[in-house]
Structure 1
Amino acid sequence: MRRAAAVAASVLDQAASSLTNIAVLVIAARTSSADGFAAFSMVYIVFTVLLGLSAAYVGQSVVLEKGEEHEVGAAARSAVTFTAAASAAAGVLLLAAGAVIGGAAGLAVLALGAVLPVVLVQDGLRYAFSALRQPHRALAADLLRLAGAVPALLLQPHGSSPARLVLVWGLSALPAALLGLALLYPFVRNRPGTPRRYLRKGHLGRRFAVEFAVGNASSQLAVLALGLLASPLVVGALRGATTLFGPLNTLLTSVNAFGPPLLGRAGSRRATVRAAALLAAVLALVALGWAAVLYALPDHVGRQLLGATWQSAAELLPATGSQYAVMAAGTCALVTLRVLRPRATLSVQVVFSLLSVALMLGGGYLLGGAVGVAWGLAAGSALKAVAAWTRVARTRPQPTTPRQDGQRSTAPSS
């Protein structure tokens, strides 16, 4: 494919995937009671964490593969095979956990365990197609995913249990997964993969997984802990508010995906930083504008979007909007660091993500409940953005040398 067509297909694919996630949460909120959506949100957080770990450990490393077509095809086959095996193992653990938990929550966890291999393999195919430079094939599968999930959930009666919604959502991914595998087959046929490569010492995905765990999963797991130990309604309110910012998630994900190569071609270090700062300012203004639009929505429109969850989610919109504004600035700074010095991001993520969790739990929930949690997350994101841009100002470019098996070597940090 031509570069412009490939970029367009990749952006549309990301948009289709994000739209599916937004639609799933909106329909689940409208279909459920506030308590039911809170339970669904807690299970969805577990899925989101597992999805992020899979993308970090497997997806982000396979897209770095270079070489002849047969070599990349073998790497793509390895990635999909490993994802299938790892997700099946994780599914078994979830089935066991669901049986132990019991009740409605246990049934929802059981449902997630049953469908986990389908949804993770379907999402993992996107990275295989990206490595093969076939984003239009990923787009075809993800459009089918969207076309399957939305009608399936819309057909569910009001008041459906969280377990039923999880099961329907997961099984609706099966046609897209089968289509994706069929589209992938010509590129991996007669090209045996080596899934064990993902268990080798030094696999770059381990670093990506650690960075995801401290940068994203830590806050999500902290929210999940609040739901388990304090009030599940807090989880529902937070998930409802963040769902409304789904378009911003799409933009930030696109920045992570396409920002490094575009900034890398900016030329000098000054030009790279200037372009990143301009992008950060634009995205922050977009986030604040979107927050203002949402805050101005009449209550009856909000209830059409989120059902019974709207009332609690609406109280969090100022804090969540502020969080997305500073997240935009922080994301652009971290992307810039990946261009100038790839290994410089981990320390920022570790320190300030843990600080965000402390602010969310200690200063947030204890002082202000759900609203306090949202402002704690915003404060943590703001501090991370300041730290990342400070690191950008002090960092000089560091050359990287491609290595085999999706690894890169860098000169020692000073």
Structure 2
Amino acid sequence: MTAPQEQPPPEQRSGPPRTPRRSAAALASVLDQAASSLTNIAVLVIAARASTAHGFATFSMVYLTFTVLLGLNMAYVGQAVVLTRGDTVTTGAACRSAIAFTSLASTVVGVLLAAVGAVTGAVTGGWAGSGGACLALGLVLPLVLVQDGLRYAFSTLRRPGLALAADSLRLVCVVPALLLQPRHAAPGLLVAVWGASAVPALLLGLRLVWPHVRGTRADLRPYVRRGHLGQRFVVEFAVGNASSQLAVLGLGLFAAPLAVGALRGATTLFGPLNVLFNSVNAFGPPLLNRLGGRRPTTRAAALLGLVLSAVGLAWGLVLYTLPGHVGRQLLGATWQSAAALLPASGAQYAVMGLGTCALVTLRVLSPRATLSVQVVFSLLSVVLMLAGYLLTGSALGAAWGLAAGSALKAVAAWTRVVRLRVEETAPTTAVPAGPAS
């Protein structure tokens, strides 16, 4: 008589599907980040090829406005919702609330942008001017912000593969949609097509997230309460990222619109490095945490920083040696102005590799030490960028100013890391005990 086979417990035979393994989830997260970054690169490259130099400058200013709004939504909603912990009902309700708040907030901001664009459009030439592009951004803003915000809902639900599916569809739709536009297309038309092409990915994302949020209720009250965690993240984003983006936008509005196109064109060419840096920010801390101890953590981060710096220099050299006809195939009429900035942008990305690893090290060893570095040296980068433009009267001076600011931030961050090691190894002085009571 054969022995009966052991049956698995009931909870293993039924119930919700298992969460994907960490390795598979990490790979899906990296691929999703790559798909999102590749979408941004493709949008700017195709827009540059389809536009005149002035048209791409206008498109870049509007796209930069979207980038700032996207970052604010990521900080206020996205970074807060991914910290949600609990059962499936709790996380599902948090995701539904985040999606609802993003929809409402983006609609309000979109209406304001559309109104401004409609008023100024008659003065700036309709779709061909900045007013028309601003109007188009207002109309499509809820579509693109909600579609991007779904990524954080999937992250909260620990389903990065679903985010990858939606973002991959976004990439597949936006590229042919922009390629079909006529040569020298108006900036407003390009913005409208770019935004409308998000609809398939938005519908897919909502369909994929629905089973996880069905039966829950959206609660918007936490997002308007004082002390909401996203308020702190907005401050960090504002001083760390938005300050330089707003400074570039201000440079275009009040001084030289063509300089914005040149800066954005040069930055677009370094897009693959942004994917690499973002991956280091996402996966560097948990990997460094496993090394155990400040000395091995610092050594590993320093080695990685040198590798990233070398990659940045090599990529800059490749771009600098591109033949002119190849560059014009990439950026169209913007290539000539962007090519002049490649040495400065290459230097900036080389030092950014070092600075990124230093900030990741600080986040592991002393998380509170990063905010002061970000605040002081991000603002200093803005000052140096504007000073470089004022001294030279060109985008090249602004680019070298940004490179100098990134270099100073890297030096400051590594100085803080070294100080932490010194404090760890310094002998402690014995304090005499007080009198016994």
Scaled by the length of structure 1, the TM-score of the pair is 0.93
Q: 1:22-51 deviations in whole A, cap 9, x for unaligned? A: 000000000000010000000011001111
Is the CA contact (8 Å cut-off) linking 1:316 and 1:371 kept in structure 2? yes
Per-residue deviation at 1:96? 2.1
Alignment of 1:58-73 (within 5 A): 58-73=77-92
Match of 1:172 among 197, 205, 208: 197
Which residue of structure 2 lines up, in the alignment, with residue 2 of structure 1? 21
Which residue of structure 2 lines up, in the alignment, with residue 74 of structure 1? 93
Q: Does 2:109 match 1:90?
A: yes
Q: Does 2:385 match 1:385?
A: no
Which residue of structure 2 lines up, in the alignment, with residue 409 of structure 1? none
Which residue of structure 2 lines up, in the alignment, with residue 279 of structure 1? 304
Q: Distance in 2 between matches of 1:61 and 1:97?
A: 30
Match of 1:120 among 141, 145, 151: 145
Q: Distance in 1 between matches of 2:403 and 2:148?
A: 29
Q: Distance in 1 between matches of 2:350 and 2:406?
A: 9
Match of 1:260 among 285, 309, 316: 285
Per-residue deviation at 1:262? 2.0
Which residue of structure 1 lines up, in the alignment, with residue 16 of structure 2? none
Is the CA contact (8 Å cut-off) linking 1:364 and 1:375 kept in structure 2? no
Alignment of 1:12-411 (within 5 A): 12-102=31-121, 103=124, 104-395=129-420
Is the CA contact (8 Å cut-off) linking 2:388 and 2:399 kept in structure 1? no
Q: Distance in 1 between matches of 2:382 and 2:266?
A: 18
Per-residue deviation at 1:368? 4.8
Structure 1 residues 190 and 120 mapped into 2: Cα distance closer, same or farther (>3 Å)?
A: same
Q: Distance in 2 between matches of 1:381 and 1:388?
A: 11
Q: Distance in 2 between matches of 1:314 and 1:71?
A: 51
Per-residue deviation at 1:130? 0.8
Amino acid across the alignment from 2:312: A
Per-residue deviation at 1:58? 1.2
What secondary structure is seen at the aligned counterpart in 1 of 2:218?
coil
Structure 1: 5+ residue stretches without partners:
397-414
Amino acid across the alignment from 2:325: H
Which ranges of 4 or more aligned residues in structure 1 deviate by more than 6 Å? none
What secondary structure is seen at the aligned counterpart in 2 of 1:342?
coil
Q: Which moved more, 1:87-96 or 1:41-50?
A: 87-96
Amino acid across the alignment from 2:216: R
Q: Distance in 2 between matches of 1:97 and 1:391?
A: 45
Q: Distance in 2 between matches of 1:61 and 1:258?
A: 18
Which residue of structure 1 lines up, in the alignment, with residue 14 of structure 2? none
Q: Distance in 1 between matches of 2:229 and 2:414?
A: 25
Amino acid across the alignment from 1:324: Y
Is the CA contact (8 Å cut-off) linking 2:102 and 2:146 kept in structure 1? yes
Q: Distance in 1 between matches of 2:314 and 2:393?
A: 25
Q: Which moved more, 1:234-243 or 1:190-199?
A: 190-199
Scaled by the length of structure 2, the TM-score of the pair is 0.88
Greater Rg, structure 1 or structure 2? 2
Q: Distance in 2 between matches of 1:195 and 1:395?
A: 41
Structure 2: 5+ residue stretches without partners:
1-19, 422-437
Is the CA contact (8 Å cut-off) linking 1:283 and 1:325 kept in structure 2? yes
Q: Distance in 1 between matches of 2:404 and 2:156?
A: 37
Is the CA contact (8 Å cut-off) linking 1:291 and 1:321 kept in structure 2? yes
Q: 1:162-193 deviations in whole A, cap 9, x for unaligned? A: 00000000000011011001100111111223
Q: Distance in 2 between matches of 1:387 and 1:84?
A: 39
Which residue of structure 2 lines up, in the alignment, with residue 399 of structure 1? none
Q: Distance in 2 between matches of 1:199 and 1:263?
A: 36
**Percent identity over paired residues:** 72
Amino acid across the alignment from 1:79: A
Q: Distance in 2 between matches of 1:360 and 1:317?
A: 16
Per-residue deviation at 1:318? 0.5
Is the CA contact (8 Å cut-off) linking 2:363 and 2:369 kept in structure 1? yes
